[in-house]
């Protein structure tokens, strides 16, 4: 088990290294364009040369990459071109906001989708199962921005129950969180529910469940004590991998509702060519994605007795 | 030469086989509904110049509500946008945009992914190792983050969107093709072809790939739906095709500021894109059901 965890951590480190090379090459391969982005399109050649000189851009590519990586690992992400402050000063508060959004989304999405998936998978092919399956296809077909539009049209424009933006201008407000969370939950729920359903339906056909039912145990007890324990292993992995999807979803939702989160920051930075903010956001996003993938793999191995004792 | 020109009876049976395969759709109502929705949008896209009531880029009556009449004749059935362009006409022409770019991007992701997957699964060894690791790295990006940094670097245009979707989509296709190739590659008929002395490309293209088509067709439908969403999202985020041509995502982006007062500007394009994606997803679901039944 310890060897497995170490191997997974090693893979994670290698992946992060490769990602950092990719991000660096994509954004910084040509020093001239970096200088233009930092100093603006109306800077003179002389200004750009001076800036490049002062920031060590005339060194070979691999030296520049080494310096960049070293600063990055030490938490120095450079300075935002647009806000003229260190990137970390903007990044961490934004990331905290997104973490709140993500946590609330998961707190709602996980119980709802697990219950739906289990109920649907308990009696495969029943009318309830069909209804839940069709609903989950529909909800995963509606892109996040579309359900944001639909929900706003109903709850903001028509009923006027909820605020249409979530800028949190007067401090934290739970009401402003409702629509963004709802949009994310609707989109992600279908997939988790379908995976849970498949896993549950699989377990329900195993001989040990049939035995438990035939020996006369109450049906509820068979579900809770026997079926769920095995049926919920696969959804655990799916839910962890869902964090990767959520990182895409928050970009759309934060942009739509003007929520001051990490995804909106990445998008604003890329629309404004704020290069060091883009780099920092991209690296943080991939780090979160890779870390959750690693946790999913290790957790799966830990939960599944076949692997744990194997 | 002879290979390129199939004789008449061979072509006939190929057509008949295709017809029979399409007729299989009748076995699944879900697939039929999905195919119907997709076909509807394909027809709308093809017939756009004939059925669109107005010029999609011409400006008439800003902020017209749905159903408002036009002084010069005609009705804005779905209203008009901030600068007075007819929304119904833009949705009709927008179907063209999405039904050109989504299949194009999906197809090019498939070509690259199939080449990589066949190479990795058939050659194995270091080729497999390198390609699989590369795929893992690309797949570890949250996909929208990858699109945003690529498009922010190379700029938003039709070609760049296709390139970004190809790069982001190919690793997923590669994984599936690699798995199928590993499985099919161990069958007897592949060994027989190898003993016959066939070239590696021949075995991959003629022996392995046609036998992997079932799961790939289902995956392609799902991926088409997903790419449709992606193109919509990029347009919505302001990273889509340059204006003024109609594209559903960009319509929503442009109307975002006034959407709270004039929801018709955003709601109808959203219905359009959601229904098309639903069509692809239902088709994929139905096809999977049919393929599991055999």
What DSSP letter does each residue of A149-173 carry, written as one string?
A: HHHHIIIIIIS--S-S----TTS--
Q: Are B270 and A252 an interchain contact pair (Cβ–Cβ within 8 Å)?
A: no
ipTM confidence score = 0.86
- Please tell me the distance from the alpha carbon of residue A294 to that of residue A300, in angstroms, as a whole number: 10
Rg over alpha carbons for chain B, rounded to the nearest Å, is: 23
Confidence of residue A307 (pLDDT cuts 50, 70, 90): low
Question: Could you check whether the bond before residue B244 is cis, i.e. omega within 30 degrees of 0?
Answer: yes
Q: Hey, which residues 183-222 in chain A have their CB within 8 Å of chain B?
A: none
More confident position, B18 or A308: B18
Q: How far apart are CA A210 and CA A199, in angstroms?
A: 16
**Which of A18, A19, A26, A145 has the most B C-beta neighbours within 10 Å, making it the best mutation to test the interface with B?**
A145
Query: Which helix or strand (DSSP H or E) is residue A132 part of?
Result: helix A127-141
Of A144, A251, A293, the CB nearest to B140: A293
- Beta-bridged to residue B75, according to DSSP, are B69
Comparing alpha-carbon positions, the chain A residue that sits nearest to B150 is: A26
Interface contact A131, partner B, CB < 8 A: no
**pLDDT of A27 higher than 70:** yes
More confident residue, B38 or A239: B38
Any CB–CB contact under 8 A between A149 and chain B? Answer: yes
The CA distance from A14 to A182, in Å, is 36
Q: What is the percentage of chain A residues whose pLDDT exceeds 90?
A: 25
Question: Does A296 have pLDDT greater than 90?
Answer: no
Please name the residue of chain A whose CA is at the shortest distance from the CA of residue B266: A149
| Predicted confidence (pLDDT) per residue in A183-234, tens digit | 999 998 888 898 888 888 888 888 988 898 898 888 888 888 888 888 888 8
Token pair for residue A102?
Answer: 């993500």
Higher pLDDT, B82 or A261: A261
Find the range with the poorest average confidence among A108-112, A147-151, A168-172, B228-232: A168-172
The pLDDT value recorded for residue B7 is 47
The pLDDT, as a whole number, for residue A308 is: 65
At residue A128 the predicted structure's pLDDT band, cuts being 50, 70 and 90, is confident
Letter string b/e over residues A229-243, b meaning 16 or more CB atoms within 10 A of that residue's CB: ebbbbbbbbbbbbbb
Nearest CA in chain A to B143: A248
User: Is residue B241 a contact partner of residue B265, using CB atoms and an 8 Å limit?
Assistant: no
Q: Do A152 and B145 touch (CB under 8 A)?
A: no
Using only C-alpha atoms, chain A has a radius of gyration, in whole angstroms, of 24
Q: For tokens 């800003």, what's the residue?
A: B62
Instruction: Please tell me the distance from the alpha carbon of residue B205 to that of residue A149, in angstroms, as a whole number.
Output: 45
Residues forming beta bridges with residue B106, ordered by sequence position: none
Pairing outcome for strands B68-69 and B75-76: antiparallel
Cβ burial, residue A26 (10 Å; 0-12/13-18/19+): middle
Cβ of A248 and B273 within 8 Å?
Answer: no
Show the tokens assigned to B181: 């190739």
Could you read off the pLDDT tens digit of each residue along chain B, which spans 294 residues?
Answer: 444 444 444 556 777 777 777 777 777 888 899 999 999 999 999 998 898 888 888 778 787 778 777 777 778 888 888 887 888 999 999 999 999 999 999 999 999 999 999 999 888 889 999 999 889 888 888 889 989 888 878 888 888 899 999 999 999 999 999 999 998 888 899 989 989 988 888 898 888 888 888 889 888 988 999 999 999 999 999 888 877 778 898 899 888 877 777 888 889 999 999 999 999 999 998 888 887 775
């Amino acid at each position: 088990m310890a060897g497995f965890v170490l191997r997974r951590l090693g893979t994670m480190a290698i992946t992060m290294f490769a990602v950092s090379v990719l991000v660096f090459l994509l954004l910084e391969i040509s020093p001239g364009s970096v200088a233009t982005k930092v100093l603006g399109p109306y800077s003179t050649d002389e200004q750009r040369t001076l800036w490049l000189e002062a920031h060590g851009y005339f060194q070979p590519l691999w030296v520049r990459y080494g310096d960049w990586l070293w600063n990055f690992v030490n938490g120095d992400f450079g300075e935002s071109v647009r806000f003229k402050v260190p990137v970390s000063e903007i990044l961490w508060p934004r990331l905290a906001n997104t973490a709140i959004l993500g946590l609330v989304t998961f707190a709602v999405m996980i119980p709802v989708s697990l219950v739906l998936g289990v109920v649907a998978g308990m009696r495969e092919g029943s009318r309830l199962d069909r209804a839940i399956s069709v609903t989950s296809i529909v909800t995963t077909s509606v892109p996040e921005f579309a359900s944001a539009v639909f929900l706003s049209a109903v709850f903001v424009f028509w009923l006027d129950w909820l605020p249409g933006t979530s800028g949190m201008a007067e401090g934290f407000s739970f009401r402003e969180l409702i629509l963004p969370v709802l949009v994310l939950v609707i989109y992600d729920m279908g997939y988790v529910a379908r995976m849970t359903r498949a896993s549950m339906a699989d377990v329900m056909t195993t001989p040990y469940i049939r035995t438990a039912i035939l020996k006369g145990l109450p049906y509820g007890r068979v579900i809770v004590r026997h079926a769920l324990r095995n049926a919920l292993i696969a959804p655990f992995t799916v839910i962890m991998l869902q964090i990767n999807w959520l990182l895409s979803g928050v970009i759309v939702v934060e942009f739509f509702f003007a929520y001051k989160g990490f995804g909106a920051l990445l998008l604003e930075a890329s629309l404004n060519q704020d290069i060091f903010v883009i780099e920092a956001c991209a690296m943080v996003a991939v780090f979160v994605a890779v870390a959750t993938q690693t946790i999913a793999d290790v957790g799966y191995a830990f939960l599944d007795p076949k692997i744990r004792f194997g | 030469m002879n290979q390129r020109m199939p004789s008449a009876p061979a072509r006939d049976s190929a057509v008949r086989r295709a017809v029979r395969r399409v007729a299989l759709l009748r076995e699944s109502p879900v697939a039929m509904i999905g195919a119907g929705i997709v076909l509807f949008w394909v027809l709308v896209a093809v017939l756009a110049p004939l059925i669109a009531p107005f010029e999609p880029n011409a400006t008439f009556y800003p902020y017209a509500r749905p159903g408002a009449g036009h002084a010069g004749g005609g009705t804005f059935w779905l209203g008009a946008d901030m600068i007075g362009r007819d929304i119904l006409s833009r949705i009709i022409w927008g179907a063209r945009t999405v039904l050109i770019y989504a299949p194009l991007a999906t197809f090019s992701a498939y070509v690259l992914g199939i080449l990589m997957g066949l190479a990795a699964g058939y050659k194995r060894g270091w080729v497999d190792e390198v390609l699989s690791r590369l795929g893992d790295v690309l797949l570890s990006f949250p996909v929208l983050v990858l699109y945003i940094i690529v498009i922010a670097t190379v700029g938003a245009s039709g070609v760049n969107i296709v390139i970004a979707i190809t790069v982001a989509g190919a690793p997923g296709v590669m994984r599936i093709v690699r798995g199928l190739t590993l499985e099919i590659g161990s069958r007897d008929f592949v060994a027989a072809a190898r003993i016959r002395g066939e070239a590696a490309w021949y075995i991959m293209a003629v022996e392995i790939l046609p036998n992997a088509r079932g799961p790939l067709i289902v995956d392609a439908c799902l991926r088409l739906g997903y790419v449709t969403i992606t193109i919509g999202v990029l347009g919505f985020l302001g990273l889509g095709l340059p204006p003024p041509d109609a594209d559903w995502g960009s319509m929503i982006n442009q109307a975002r500021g006034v959407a709270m007062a004039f929801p018709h500007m955003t709601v109808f394009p959203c219905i359009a894109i959601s229904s098309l994606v639903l069509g692809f997803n239902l088709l994929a679901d139905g096809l999977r059901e049919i393929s599991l039944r055999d």
